[in-house]
Structure 1
Amino acid sequence: MKNRLILLAVATTIAFTGCDRNLDIVNPNQVTTQSFWKTADDALAGVNAVYSTTHRGGISRWMPFYYIIRSDEGQSLSPATDIVNNMDQFLITDYNYGNAYGVWNDNYIGINRANQVIANVPAIPMDETLKQRYVGEAKFLRAMFYFHLATLWGNVPLILEPSVVGDQPASATQAQVWAQIEKDLTEAATGLPTTYGPNDLGRATKGAAFALLARTYLQQRKYAEAITPLQWLTEGEGKGIYSLMPNYRDNFLVTTENNRESVFEWQFELNPAEYTDDDTETPNQNYGTSIAQFFGPSGIGWSDGEARRWVVREFNERTTTGARDPRLEASFLFDSTDVRGPAFTQIYGQTFLQRYGTNNQRVWFRKFQNDHWKNEEGYRSPNNWRYIRYADVLLMYAEALNATGKTAQAYSFVDQVRQRAGLPRLSTVRPGLTAEQFLGQLKHERVTELSGEGWRWNDLARWGDLGPQLANRDPAFSTFVRGRSELLPIPQTDRDLNPGLTQNPGY
Structure 2
Amino acid sequence: MKFNLTKYWICIVLLVLSVSSCKKYLDEKDYGNFVKNNYFTTASQAQTFVNGIYTNLHLFQNGDAYGESPFITIELFAGHATSLGQSVNNGNVIHERTDAVNPGFEDVWQNSYKAIANANLALERIPGISMDDAQKNKLLGEVYFLRAFFYYHLVRLYGDVPLITNSVTVNSPDLYPSRSPVADVYDLIIGDLQKAEASGLPETDQTGRVSLGAVRTLLASVYLTTAGFPMQKTENYALAASEAEKVLNDYTLFDNYAYLHDNAHKNQGELIFQGQYLVGVATNAIPQLTLPFNLPVGAYGDHLGAMIPTDEFVASYEAGDLRAEERQFYFSSYPQYGDDSKTVVFGVHALYKYFHAESALGNGQSDENWTFLRLPEAMLIYAEATNEVSGPTQVAYDQVNKIRARAKLAPLSGLTKDQFREAIWRERYHELAYEDKAYFDIQRTHKVYDVIHDTFGDALSTPNEQGVTMKEQYYLWPIPQREISTNNKLTQNPGW
Compare the two structures and name the one with the higher strand fraction: 2
Which residue of structure 2 aligns with residue 471 of structure 1?
A: 463
Which of residues 287, 293, 298 in structure 2 aligns to 1:292?
A: 287
The offset of 1:240, in angstroms, is 4.0
The offset of 1:5, in angstroms, is 6.4
Mapping 1:332-371, distance limit 5 Å: 332-334=330-332, 346=335, 354-356=343-345, 360=347, 362-371=348-357
Which residue of structure 2 aligns with residue 500 of structure 1?
A: 489
| Structure 2 gap segments, 5+ residues each | 1-19, 228-232, 298-302, 449-458
Mapping 1:168-247, distance limit 5 Å: 168-195=176-203, 201-221=207-227, 222=233, 224-228=235-239, 230-231=241-242, 233-234=244-245, 236=246, 238-247=247-256
Q: Distance in 2 between matches of 1:263 and 1:8?
A: 22
The offset of 1:224, in angstroms, is 4.2
Which residue of structure 2 aligns with residue 382 of structure 1?
A: 367
Which residue of structure 2 aligns with residue 46 of structure 1?
A: 49
The offset of 1:172, in angstroms, is 1.0
Which residue of structure 1 aligns with residue 456 of structure 2?
A: none
Is the 1:251–1:259 Cα contact (8 Å) retained in structure 2? no
Where 1:203 maps in the other structure, the secondary structure is: coil
Q: Which amino acid aligns with 2:423?
A: Q
The alignment's TM-score, normalised by the length of structure 2, stands at 0.83
Q: Which amino acid aligns with 1:81?
A: V
Deviations 1:462-498 (A, max 9, x none): 22115344424133x34x321x111111112111221
The offset of 1:420, in angstroms, is 2.0
The offset of 1:318, in angstroms, is 2.5
Is the 1:140–1:185 Cα contact (8 Å) retained in structure 2? yes
Deviations 1:288-308 (A, max 9, x none): 222222222222521122111
Counting matched residue pairs gives 447
Which residue of structure 1 aligns with residue 104 of structure 2?
A: 99
Deviations 1:222-273 (A, max 9, x none): 4543544644553x4x4442121222331222221111211111111111xx
Is the 2:220–2:240 Cα contact (8 Å) retained in structure 1? yes
Q: Which amino acid aligns with 1:425?
A: P
Q: Which amino acid aligns with 2:269?
A: R
Is the 1:5–1:48 Cα contact (8 Å) retained in structure 2? no
Once the two structures are aligned, what percentage of the paired residues are identical?
Answer: 26
Does 1:129 pair with 2:134? yes
Which residue of structure 2 aligns with residue 412 of structure 1?
A: 398
Q: Distance in 2 between matches of 1:8 and 1:470?
A: 47
Deviations 1:8-37 (A, max 9, x none): 525x44xxxxxxxxxxxxxxx621012200
Q: Which amino acid aligns with 1:295?
A: T
Is the 2:358–2:366 Cα contact (8 Å) retained in structure 1? no
| 1:8/1:147 CA distance change after superposition, 3 Å | farther
Deviations 1:364-399 (A, max 9, x none): 222222136634785x42111111110111011100
Q: Distance in 1 between matches of 2:98 and 2:420?
A: 36
Is the 1:266–1:385 Cα contact (8 Å) retained in structure 2? yes
| 1:58/1:492 CA distance change after superposition, 3 Å | farther
Q: Which amino acid aligns with 1:493?
A: R
Q: Distance in 2 between matches of 1:219 and 1:349?
A: 47
Q: Distance in 2 between matches of 1:347 and 1:444?
A: 35
Does 1:481 pair with 2:458? no
Deviations 1:68-102 (A, max 9, x none): 111122222322212211x3222123x23222211
Where 1:315 maps in the other structure, the secondary structure is: coil
Q: Which amino acid aligns with 1:318?
A: G
Where 2:419 maps in the other structure, the secondary structure is: helix
| Structure 1 gap segments, 5+ residues each | 14-28, 272-285, 336-344
**RMSD (Å) for aligned C-alpha atoms:** 2.6
| 1:108/1:416 CA distance change after superposition, 3 Å | same
The offset of 1:151, in angstroms, is 1.4
Deviations 1:320-356 (A, max 9, x none): xxxx556763211225xxxxxxxxx546677898434
Where 2:428 maps in the other structure, the secondary structure is: helix
Which of residues 152, 159, 166 in structure 1 aligns to 2:157?
A: 152
Where 2:354 maps in the other structure, the secondary structure is: coil
Which of residues 244, 249, 258 in structure 2 aligns to 1:249?
A: 258
| 1:373/1:128 CA distance change after superposition, 3 Å | same
| 1:354/1:326 CA distance change after superposition, 3 Å | closer
The alignment's TM-score, normalised by the length of structure 1, stands at 0.81
Is the 1:5–1:203 Cα contact (8 Å) retained in structure 2? no
